């Protein structure tokens, strides 16, 4: 069988022009585009070497983040909550299953995987996994912006604990992440004075000083840093 235009015969990666830019897209991770290509093929529209789709907001960021981990959204997006609304709505449009059935409690469990069950003295135990926790921090923001809660009043306490966990662990979550998660929480929920005071104990300083570090964090830095030990007592 002949490959679809722009598609390598032995992979699921397809070159598609989105707006004015060509992107290599893994259709296994983008079911929307798999359906799009099938529709073009059946309707006889796949007559050009590279299939073309209209512009999609932040698609370069989305393609990278979906392929390499949701944590990369924080590293590549503007630091404006309105842009994250657009990003999350676009992910929904593209039928990306961000939550994969996870509820707030499941996300909190993944956030805590940055912590280590590790004895620093005898070298036994399991190191924390930062990539899992960082991906979960985006799911937390996503559920704040688009998720449905059975009772916002009852879920507010758990949501606050999750937001506070992110804000209070700068050794794992960089400034851009902590800033956006806090803003998303405060937009979604009625924040009590006590909760605001708790969040204010972990202020986000000037984003510019953290920008380069946040964008160039190596994936090999996937384990708990010593600085995180100082924040265990806050949980």
Spell out the domain ranges in the chain. Answer: 101-234
| Lowest-confidence pick of 35-49, 64-78, 79-93, 186-200 | 35-49
- Asked if residue 56 has pLDDT above 80, the reply is yes
Position 148 scores a pLDDT of 85
| Lowest-confidence pick of 54-58, 161-165, 181-185, 210-214 | 210-214
Whole-model pTM: value is 0.81
Condensed to tens digits (0 to 9), the pLDDT of residues 106-156 reads: 999 999 998 755 545 555 444 558 999 999 999 999 999 999 887 777 789
Position 132 scores a pLDDT of 95
User: Where does the pLDDT of residue 219 fall: very low under 50, low under 70, confident under 90, or very high at 90 and above?
Assistant: very low
Average pLDDT of span 44-61: 86
Position 177 scores a pLDDT of 97
Condensed to tens digits (0 to 9), the pLDDT of residues 20-38 reads: 999 999 999 999 999 999 8
DSSP letters along the chain, please? -PPPTTB-TTSSEEEEEETTEEEEEETTT-HHHHHHHHHHHHTT---SSS-EE---TTHHHHHHHHHH-THHHHHHS-S-HHHHHHHHHHHHHTT--SSTT--HHHHHHHHGGGS-EE-TTT--EE---HHHHHHHHHHHHHHHHH---S-HHHHHHHHHHHHHHHHT-TTTS-HHHHHHHHHHHHHHS---HHHHHHHHTS----THHHHHHHHS--TT--S--HHHHTTGGG-
């Amino acid at each position: 069988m002949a490959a679809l235009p722009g598609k390598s015969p032995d992979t699921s990666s397809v070159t598609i022009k989105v707006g004015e830019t060509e992107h290599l897209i893994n259709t296994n991770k983008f079911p929307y585009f798999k359906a799009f290509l099938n529709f073009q093929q059946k309707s006889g529209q796949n007559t050009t070497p590279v299939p073309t789709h209209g512009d999609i907001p932040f698609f370069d960021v989305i393609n990278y983040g979906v392929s390499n981990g949701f944590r990369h959204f924080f590293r590549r997006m503007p630091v404006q909550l309105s842009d994250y609304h657009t990003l999350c709505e676009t992910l929904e449009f593209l039928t990306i299953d961000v939550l994969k059935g996870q509820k707030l409690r499941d996300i909190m469990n993944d956030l805590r995987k940055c912590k280590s069950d590790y004895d620093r003295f005898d070298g036994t135990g399991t190191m924390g996994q930062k990539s899992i926790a960082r991906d979960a921090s985006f799911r937390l923001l996503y559920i704040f912006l688009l998720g449905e809660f059975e009772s916002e009043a009852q879920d507010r306490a758990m949501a606050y604990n999750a937001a506070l966990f992110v804000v209070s662990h700068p050794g794992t979550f960089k400034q851009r992440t902590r800033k956006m998660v806090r803003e998303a929480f405060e937009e979604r929920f009625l924040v009590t004075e006590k909760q605001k005071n708790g969040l204010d104990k972990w202020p986000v300083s000037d984003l510019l000083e953290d920008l380069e570090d946040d964008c160039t964090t190596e994936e090999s830095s996937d384990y708990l840093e010593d600085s995180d030990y100082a924040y265990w007592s806050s949980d």
